[in-house]
Chain A
Amino acid sequence: SAVISQKPSRDICQRGTSLTIQCQVDSQVTMMFWYRQQPGQSLTLIATANQGSEATYESGFVIDKFPISRPNLTFSTLTVSNMSPEDSSIYLCSVDYPQGTDTQYFGPGTRLTVL
């Protein structure tokens, strides 16, 4: 399986600030995904990020709030902008790996608390 790392693993932030979460994978992958898991809830897909194109956002998520970068085939960032306490969640990235098998592998997650 792919080895996926996320930075930071956790953070506590003040409302109104922004946090950028990094996702690094040890293999080149076409598709990377960002999910949110609110406290006590299941995972919700935020957006899909393909290298070289704009991210595709799911209903209820907008680029201004969650800008995503995908500069190469092994790296992506998700920024949570102008945070409020409602953004307190675990944010997870995943990758489509091995390519062509349509199986996703997940990173360890970033636990965000907004005060």
Chain B
Amino acid sequence: DAKTTQPTSMDCAEGRAANLPCNHSTISGNEYVYWYRQIHSQGPQYIIHGLKNNETNEMASLIITEDRKSSTLILPHATLRDTAVYYCIVRSYGQNFVFGPGTRLSVLP
């Protein structure tokens, strides 16, 4: 079973930051937070992952709360091409990825 809770859908204006929340209140100490996205009719795309420190790469930033019970994926300047389903996954090293329903992000012009 998925260990995360995400809103079903969100809208974001093009050019604005998209902040996607994820609750993972039962996360254990050795579990990482991963984010993937799936653009319509494509395979999921890896975005970012982290353990407890905030992480940033060329695609996004991941902010994990100090108690690690929730996190936020930030797309700093959303474009229409960022419209996708975003999956937040909690897993420890070597475990299977379990995909929940994710958040359907619509970036609006």
Contact = CB atoms under 8 A, between A and B. Distances in A.
Contacts of A73: none
Nearest to A4: B43
Nearest to B32: A102
A103 B48 CA distance: 9
B42 A43 contact: no
A110 B64 CA distance: 35
A106 interface: yes
B87 to A, nearest CB: 7
A1 B46 contact: yes
Contact of B43 (A44, A48, A92): A92
Interface in B18-48: 32, 34, 41-46
A92 B42 CA distance: 9
Nearest to B96: A45
A92 B43 CA distance: 7
Interface of B: 32, 34, 41-46, 49, 87, 93-94, 96-102
Interface of A: 1, 4, 42-45, 48, 58, 92, 94, 102-109, 111
